Amino acid sequence: MSRKTARQKAMMRRNLFLTGCACVLILIGVLAGFAVKKLTEKPKPEKPAETTVSSDQSEQTAPVSGDDTPSYPAEGPNGLDANYRVLFLVNGKHPLPENYEYEKDLITIPQEYKNGQLDQINKDIWPYMKAMIDAAWADGVKLYVWSPYRSYAIQNMLFQKQVNRVKTADMTTEQAEELASTVVARPGTSEHHTGLAADFNMADDRFEQTEMFAWLQKHAADYGFIMRYAGDKQEITGVIHESWHYRFVGINTAKEINRLGMCLEEYLEHIGEMPADS
């Protein structure tokens, strides 16, 4: 009897030991499974930031301006940063610095987005331009990039062509160049050289009659672009009315410039950021 009990006790101890082992193994298994699941689990997509920000926040992020500046959301279409702005001024009085390095900032525009030969644009503004063109297409409007970045050599060629076109026998070369410069920028004074501007579809007055122009009038600012040369601002910009030429400034800045009815030069004066004449 006592022998049996001893044996039974030994059996019980063995069973207890085996059960314990099994428990530990199961626990390890469960923990390992949990760890693997955690590691392989896809992170939940982050909810896009709400476009409705509190008035306090939006006041902080709105472009610099007077007291009457409305609040603008910090996020534009496709999650684009609406406060990102580029106010770099290039005009007849503000030529590009000779050492201006533009090529490092350029990328190639995909073939399907353009209808001209030239195909380079500033890499930081391309997401904005692409989103704009995609939105136009979604609305059935066939917007294409005609002429974006232009090298100094191309500008020079275009300018000389224009000088030859306007020069009459009684004109000096300087006079002809002056006249030509209202239509084609002198080399070094073109916004096209910065990669921040582009002509769409055609550099032609007929553009104003197209649905592309009508669409841009409504939506260009939503993507950070302004029609850079309005006819009634020629005195200030030094350039004739160009319905086809759009310049990136930034979403909220473009909205503000349009709201104020200003050209870029006037806006820079307005916010006290006009660079000195060079």
Catalytic residues: 242
Q: 255 by DSSP, 3-state: which?
A: helix
The single-letter DSSP state of residue 186 is P
In terms of phi and psi (left: phi > 0; alpha: psi -120 to 50; beta: otherwise), the region of 86 is beta
Which residues have CB under 8 Å from 25's CB, separation 6+? none
Give me the least distance between CB of 199 and Zn ion, in Å please.
4
Which residues have CB under 8 Å from 157's CB, separation 6+? none
Output the DSSP codes for 11-66.
HHHHHHHHHHHHHHHHHHHHHHHHHHHHHHSPPPPPPPPPS---HHHHHHHSPS--
Closer residue to Zn ion in complex, CB, 193/245 = 245
Give me the least distance between CB of 186 and Zn ion, in Å please.
14
Give me the least distance between CB of 138 and Zn ion, in Å please.
25
Which residues have CB under 8 Å from 103's CB, separation 6+? none
Give me the least distance between CB of 180 and Zn ion, in Å please.
14
Which residues have CB under 8 Å from 210's CB, separation 6+? 201
Closer residue to Zn ion in complex, CB, 83/155 = 155
Report CA torsion sign: 239, 85, 202, 232: negative
Give me the least distance between CB of 269 and Zn ion, in Å please.
23
Closer residue to Zn ion in complex, CB, 85/150 = 150
Closer residue to Zn ion in complex, CB, 207/223 = 207
Task: List contacts with Zn ion (CB under 5 A).
Answer: 199, 245
Structure tokens at 217: 């009038």
Position closest to Zn ion via CB: 245
Q: Pick the closest to residue 193 from 109, 102, 262 (CA basis).
A: 102
Closer residue to Zn ion in complex, CB, 141/202 = 202
